Structure 1
Amino acid sequence: MTNQIELLDRPEGRVAYTVEGPADGPLVVLVPGMGDLRGTWRALVGPLVAAGYRTAVTDLRGHGDSDTTFRVHGDQATGSDVIALVEHLGGPAVLIGSSMGAASVAWVAAERPDLVAGLVLSGPLLRNPPTSPLLEHLMHAAYRLMFVRPWGAALWASYYRSPLSRGRRAPWFDEHLAAVRTAMSDPAHLRQFRRLTLQLTHAPVEPRLVDVHAPALAFIGRRDPDLRDPAAEAAWIEQTLDARAVLLDDVAHYPHHQAADDVVPATLAWLAERPRDTSGRLVLPVRGDRTDPADR
C-alpha cells in the first residue's frame, strides 16, 4: 500500500498518479475534472481502501503533479492516459470520473470494454450543450483573456467556489480550493489549463455512448450550472447508458465532495454488487447485455 506519487510515461509527458490499498484488491481508478486535482477524491479514497479496493487516483495531463509538456488535451487524450494506467496496473477496473473525467472514462468503456468493469460518474458532462459557432468562438476568445497571468488563477478559483461548488460543501473545501488556486498560479499549469479549455469538446464521446456496456452509476447535482436541466440530463444518462442516476439536492458540479455522505455509501454499495471471479477480480459485463437500471 502506498500513496507515493508515481509517474506514467506518455508520448508527450508523464501523468501523475497514486495507488493505495491491497495489491490484490479489485482495481478502481479515479479521474478528476478540468482544473481540478487528485485531492478532489479525498472523501472517497479512504473508504475505498478500507473496503479492500486497490485505489488509483490520477491527475489530468498538465494538472497537479503531471508534466506540463502536453500539447493535446481533452476527453480522448485523458481517456488514452486512463487506458495506459489500467493496462499498467492490471485491469479490469471500475472507472470513476468527475465532469470531463466522466466523459473520458465513458469513452474508455466504449473504446476498451475489456478494461472496464463499471463506471461511476460524478457531475458528468457527456455531451456538448446546445450552442452556435459564434458563441463557441466568443467563449474561446474569453478563455484566452481570462486564463492568463496575473488574474487567471483567481478567476478559476472564484468560479470553482461559486457557481461550481454552490450549495453543500465539504469541511475541507477551503483547503482544497487553496490547493487548486496555488497549482493554477504556476504559469506552466495555467498555460496547460488554457489549452485544455480551448481544445475540450465532448463531441467525440456522445456518439460512442451506445457502445458502453459496463454498468454505470451517476450522481448529478440539482444546482449544477453546467446543465440547463439537471433532471432531464439525469433521465438522458439513464436512458443512454442504461444507468442508475441519483439527483442530489443543494449540490452543484462536484457531488463526490459536496455530498460525500450520500455519494460514498451509495458508491460502496454499488461496487459491492459488482460480480467477481474466484480470485476476487472484477468480472467484465457481457457485451450487449444491459440490465434494467432498477437492478443496479
Structure 2
Amino acid sequence: MFFDVPGGRLAYDSEGEGPLVVCVPGLGDTRDAYRFLRPPLVEAGYRVVTMDLRGHGESSAEWDDYSQTAVGSDIVALLEKLDAPGAVLLGNSYAGGAVVHAAADAPERVAGIVPIDGFLRAVRPTVVVRLIASSPRLWSLYYGRAHPTAKPADLAQHRARLVALLREPGRHQAMRAMLLNGAPEAEHFISEVHCPVLVLMGARDPDFPDPAAEARTQASLLRGQAVMIDGAGHYPMSEFPDRTAEALLPFLKNVF
C-alpha cells in the first residue's frame, strides 16, 4: 500500500487488528527489518504497520529532504491517514530520532515511542562510517556484522535485496544523506516528548562505544526506561525477535 506526502510516495504494510503499532526501519533498510517481530505482536492482539523510509524500499527514490524531521513528518502523515486514536511508534537507528520528532509534533496521535538502537544525539561521522556510505556492497558488509551473535537464516537474501535496491537510481544517495547527517535533529525535540518511552538497545551494538551507557542516557533524557537485549547488535528485532518482543509487550500493555 502507498500514501502520498509532499515530495513523493511512501510504502507501507498493515497486518492484524487492535491497538496500532507503527514500525519504522533504519536507513539503508526496508520495512522487512520487522519481518520477525511483526508475527508475535500481531498474535498478541496488535495492528502492526510497517513503512519504508523516503528514498528506501518501495517508497519514491528521490526527495529534497532526508532529515529526521522530514521522516518524522512522514510518520505523522501516516498516522493521520490511518486515523488511529493513538499509536506506539518503533524506530530503529536513524528512525529512532524520527519517532522522537513525531511524538513531539503530534502528541495527540502518539501514545508511546520505542527507539531501537536509535541515533538521538549528535554524532560525528567517522572514517568507517564514510567508507560504509561509499557503496552498497560496503553497506551490506556492515549490515552483516551488525548482527554479531544470531544471524537470521535469511540474512544473506535480505542483504542481497538491500544491495539491489540501493543500486537503483537515487536510493544510495538517500542512504548517504541520512548516514552522513552528523547532527540528528531529534536532540532538539527530546524535551517536547511527554508520552511513555522505552529505549531498546542491543548490548553488542557496534555503533556505540558503550551501548548500555547510551541507552541509559537516552532513557534519562526522555524520562523513560531502558532495556538491553543481550547479545544483540544494531538490529535486535531481527537478531533476537523473541527477546525484543518480551521487552516490548509489557510496555505496550501498559500504554494501551
- Using structure 2 for the length normalisation, give the TM-score: 0.92
The structure-2 alpha-carbon separation of the partners of 1:69 and 1:179, relative to structure 1 and needing over 3 Å to count, comes to same
Aligned equivalents of 1:234, 1:194: Cα separation in 2: 25
Residue type at the aligned position of 1:192: A
Between Structure 1 and Structure 2, how many residues are aligned? 255
1:39 aligns with 2:20: no
The CA deviation at 1:65 is 0.2
Whole-Å Cα distance in 2 between the matches of residues 250 and 48 of structure 1?
22
8 Å CA contact 2:122, 2:182 repeated in 1: no
Classify the secondary structure of the residue corresponding to 2:36. Answer: helix
Q: CA separation in 1, counterparts of 2:16 and 2:113?
A: 19
5 Å-filtered alignment, 1:101-116, equals 101-116=95-110
Q: Which runs of 5+ in 1 are unaligned?
A: 1-5, 276-296
Distance in 1, matches of 2:182 and 2:34, equals 22
Quick one: distance in 2 between partners of 1:146 and 1:128? 18
CA distance in 2: counterparts of 1:93 and 1:34, whole angstroms: 22
Counterpart among 211, 229, 238 of residue 230 in structure 1:
211
User: Are residues 1:159 and 2:153 paired?
Assistant: no
Q: Which moved more, 1:12-21 or 1:192-201?
A: 192-201
1:195 Cα shift?
3.1
Identity %: 37
1:272 Cα deviation after fit: 1.6
1:205 aligns with 2:199: no
Matched residue type, 2:72? G
Q: Sort the Cα spacing of 1:83 and 1:200 in 2 relative to 1 into closer, same or farther, 3 A.
A: farther
Deviations 1:27-75 (A, max 9, x none): 1111000101111001111122222222111000010000112121021
Residues in 1 aligned to 2:230 and 2:128: alpha-carbon distance in whole angstroms: 29
Deviation >6 Å, runs of 4+: none
1:19 is aligned, of 14, 17, 38, to 14
Q: Amino acid of the residue matched to residue 232 of structure 1?
A: A
Q: Partner residue of 1:8? A: 3
Return the offset for 1:267: 1.2
2:252 is matched with 271
In the alignment, the residues of structure 2 paired with residue 239 and residue 191 of structure 1 have an alpha-carbon distance, to the nearest angstrom, of 34
CA distance in structure 1 between the partners assigned to 2:157 and 2:246 by the alignment: 24
Q: Indicate whether 1:254 and 2:235 are aligned.
A: yes
Determine the C-alpha separation between the residues in 2 that align with 1:218 and 1:179.
29
Looking at CA atoms only, which structure, 1 or 2, has the larger radius of gyration? 1
**Structure-2 residue corresponding to 1:278:** none
Alignment equivalent of 1:182, drawn from 164, 178, 181: 164
Instruction: Give the SS at the match of 1:273.
Output: helix
Query: What's the C-alpha RMSD, in Å, of the aligned pairs?
Result: 2.0
Residue in 1 that maps onto 2:43: 50
How big is the shift at 1:266? Answer: 2.1
Deviation at 1:190, TM superposition (A): 1.7
- Provide the secondary structure at the position in 2 that maps to 1:43: coil
Of residues 173-182 and 12-21 in structure 1, the stretch that sits farther from structure 2 once superposed is 173-182
The answer for the alignment partner of 1:97 in structure 2 is 91
Q: Is the 8 A contact 1:20 1:56 kept in 2?
A: yes
Preserved contact between residue 61 and residue 169 of structure 2 (Cα < 8 Å): no
Deviations 1:219-244 (A, max 9, x none): 11122122121121121122111212
Distance in 2 (CA, whole Å) between partners of 1:64 and 1:208 is: 27
Alpha carbons 1:43, 1:264 under 8 Å: kept: no
Aligned partners of 1:248 and 1:146: how far apart in 2?
27
Q: Distance in 1 between matches of 2:179 and 2:189?
A: 22
Which whole-Å CA distance do the structure 2 matches of 1:84 and 1:239 have between them?
A: 28
Question: 1:198: how far off?
Answer: 4.0
Residue of 63, 68, 72 corresponding to 1:70 = 63
How far is 1:114 from its partner?
0.9
The whole-number CA distance in structure 2 between the counterparts of 1:20 and 1:200 is: 35
In 1: Cα distance, 2:38 partner to 2:182 partner: 27
